[in-house]
Structure 1
Amino acid sequence: MTDADSAAPKTDALGEALPYLRRYARALTGRQASGDRYAAAALEALLEDASALDRFAPHVALFHVFHRLWASAGTPVAETPEGIEGRAQRHLARLTPNSREALLLHAVEGFGFDEIGQVMDLPESEARELVEIARQEMSDATTGKVLIVEDEAIIAMDLETVVADLGHKVTGIARTRDRAVELAAEEVPDLVLCDIQLADDSSGIDAANEILEQFGERPVIFITAFPERLLTGERPEPAFLIAKPYSEEQVRSAVAQAMFFSSTETLRA
């Protein structure tokens, strides 16, 4: 087997991991463009110096290189100091260092505590502790009103339970785009938790965008069985995205993250 043949699986694995690094980077920076710059820089650095691939699995190596760059830049967040992003920066200043990154890696990206330690150059025990700290700090920081847009009754009930357990008020559950907009008008939500494909074949993306247009900026979390279709880099993408089937921990983390560090980057059809 040639060196090229042995490198091919690793290259393929990096390609598969890149969309998820971009999602993670956007959540950290609060901006799609900012996150993409860091993700692209990490991939370029890893391709130039592949030594991390000798130490870690490809997806861990990519996130590890990203974190080196992220830490060396001082872990910057959203570039705009006013409005939602400015409030988020003030919130972030009160978080335990590295805890938010550890939580995202674990609950959203599915990394084990040993992998988080590899990514962040920490002992596994410290990675576990950071995740617990972040959960508590984020859940304590903010509560608000959440609109659930989901056409499957069992999933909607499950989401409602998770959101309520976090201390948020569920303003309603909508199965269609039109109903979502109606419910938003009745009680404007602080956050929208939104499926992509709705009961009457209407679009959750359209529902979310109409709510934002009518009632102003607020975070949106999209739920989809096909996240790779929305993480293409070819158009604006959601900052918060949960893949079906999801875990309760993923929902709890995404809701806490979205409420804590609001982002309104959503999809435009």
Structure 2
Amino acid sequence: MTPASARILIVEDEQIIALDLSDTLADLGHVVVGVAGRGEEAVTMARSLSPDLVLMDIHLSGDMDGVTAAETIRRGGGAPVVFITAYDDAPMVQRAKLSEPYGYLLKPFNVRELRVIIEMALFHHRMQTEREALTRQLREALQEVTQLKALLHMCAYCRRVADDNGNWERFESFLQRRTGAQVSHGMCPECYARVKASGLGEPEKR
């Protein structure tokens, strides 16, 4: 997709309007990947065609209207949706908001309005996608930093550990710096019995 072009799915149950919208989108440099007339069909086509944007009429024939179709597409991680409708009644608008659309266009609209809302929807979706990717990368980087490496270089004599730069430090300090965990020193039962049996004195329990 170039900045001036997008792959768009049209969801409109009136064929004349859908055809006119297809011609307008082509004139704007976009590619119409499909036209759906029912909500169920829109969901299926959105999954199979992976459009960059869905222009969705709210009032559709059939059991699934445009709002329900948009909610289903959103839950499936699909393309952003811009609603197109001839009605602006408050209850419908409030219900449509719950599906988190990227725009709301009232019929009849002109070419300039259509162009602007498509550009804004694509821009906001791209920014949201980039933010989510950055958040995911930061989370993964944080997890990697806090996890110990699979192989630690430990001195067999003093039990110090080498970091990535070749600096040696106490294992306790290394562990706390990498994971935040603190180490308390004590003596396991086997060592306690061994020291006690050696006659070196009563070992201190901690």
Conservation of the 8 A alpha-carbon contact between 1:196 and 1:204? yes
Matching residue of 1:174: 36
The CA distance in 2 between the partners of 1:159 and 1:206, in whole Å, is 22
SS of the counterpart of 1:156?
helix
Matching residue of 2:115: 252
Greater share of helix residues, 1 or 2?
1
Percent same amino acid at aligned positions?
40
Conservation of the 8 A alpha-carbon contact between 1:163 and 1:170? yes
The residue correspondences of 1:1-269 to structure 2 (distance < 5 A) are 141-214=3-76, 216=77, 218-229=79-90, 230-232=92-94, 236=98, 238-262=101-125
TM-score, normalisation: structure 1: 0.41
The CA distance in 2 between the partners of 1:234 and 1:176, in whole Å, is 17
CA change 1:142–1:225 in 2 (3 A) is same
The CA distance in 1 between the partners of 2:95 and 2:39, in whole Å, is 25
Conservation of the 8 A alpha-carbon contact between 2:47 and 2:78? no
Supply the RMSD in Å over aligned alpha carbons: 2.6
SS of the counterpart of 2:125?
coil
The CA distance in 2 between the partners of 1:233 and 1:149, in whole Å, is 18
Conservation of the 8 A alpha-carbon contact between 1:225 and 1:243? yes
The CA distance in 1 between the partners of 2:96 and 2:114, in whole Å, is 26
Aligned residues: 124
The CA distance in 2 between the partners of 1:232 and 1:220, in whole Å, is 16
User: What are the Cα deviations for residues 105-135 of structure 1, in whole angstroms up to 9, with x where unaligned?
Assistant: xxxxxxxxxxxxxxxxxxxxxxxxxxxxxxx
CA change 1:235–1:262 in 2 (3 A) is closer
The CA distance in 1 between the partners of 2:19 and 2:96, in whole Å, is 34
CA-CA distance at 1:146 after TM superposition: 0.7
Greater share of strand residues, 1 or 2?
2
Matching residue of 2:138: none
Amino acid at match of 1:241: Y
